[in-house]
A and B are shown apart, each in its own frame.
Chain A
């Protein structure tokens, strides 16, 4: 595709439900990153992949959060038993080369937990 695609654009869920956020990176991009961004703040690192391998998950807040990229392309960020504090914009970014600095960001998924 022309850019990084994230779906859904908006997700409203009730506390305790599981949600899955999808990221479709630019075709051929090697690295994929997940960030969470609160209003008025910079992106907060969650995790990243090189190809299908999860390289660093140190930013995942707790074990309710997980991510996968099984075929080295599309990635899913899953939040189990959602809590109100999980409400935020979740952004995905991809880059064409390992260690390449230029991240291409998607439009994000705005998650609201009621």
Chain B
């Protein structure tokens, strides 16, 4: 069964303190791994797609990387406005285009 596990559940950083969020996945025949950002009371908002091991994507202070078993979302010099829940999702295996999400990592950045 396809599975996505994110860690840590919550992460508290000081402004400017870089860190990484982890997403471990189990899926046969990965079509894509996705990162979304979700602000309180809103729907998830798309950030990145990664398709194969070794691939990297960047957007402002965020950089996503992918291996055969996990993905990392690196946050460089975060700002308070980066505070949100970051969700990882996978598509693939026998699920066709079914997209499965992890529980998310809640990031708090303090000024």
The reply to whether A43 and B101 form a contact with Cβ atoms under 8 Å apart is: yes
Interface string of B85-107 (1 = CB under 8 A from A): 00101010001111111111010
The reply to whether B87 and A58 form a contact with Cβ atoms under 8 Å apart is: no
Looking at A4, A59, A105, A108, the one whose CB has the most chain B CB atoms below 10 A away is A105
Interface string of B43-61 (1 = CB under 8 A from A): 1111001000000000000
Q: Total A-B residue pairs with C-beta atoms closer than 8 Å? A: 65
Cβ of A42 under 8 Å from chain B: yes
Residues of A within 8 A of B102 (CB): 42
Interface string of A100-114 (1 = CB under 8 A from B): 011111111000000
Name the distance in Å between A49's Cβ and chain B's nearest Cβ. Answer: 10
Residues of A within 8 A of B44 (CB): 43, 93, 103, 105
The reply to whether B98 and A42 form a contact with Cβ atoms under 8 Å apart is: no
If A101-B49, A101-B91 touch, does A41 touch B98 (CB 8 Å cutoff)?
no
Residues of A within 8 A of B34 (CB): 101, 103
The reply to whether B101 and A42 form a contact with Cβ atoms under 8 Å apart is: yes
Which A residues from 50 to 69 make CB contacts under 8 A with B? 50, 55-56, 58-59
The reply to whether A42 and B32 form a contact with Cβ atoms under 8 Å apart is: no
The reply to whether B87 and A42 form a contact with Cβ atoms under 8 Å apart is: yes
If A56-B95, A56-B96, A101-B34 touch, does A42 touch B43 (CB 8 Å cutoff)?
no
Cβ of B69 under 8 Å from chain A: no
Name the distance in Å between B105's Cβ and chain A's nearest Cβ. Answer: 10
Residues of A within 8 A of B87 (CB): 42-43
Chain A residues within CB distance 8 Å of chain B: 4, 31, 33, 35, 40-45, 48, 50, 55-56, 58-59, 91, 93, 98-99, 101-108
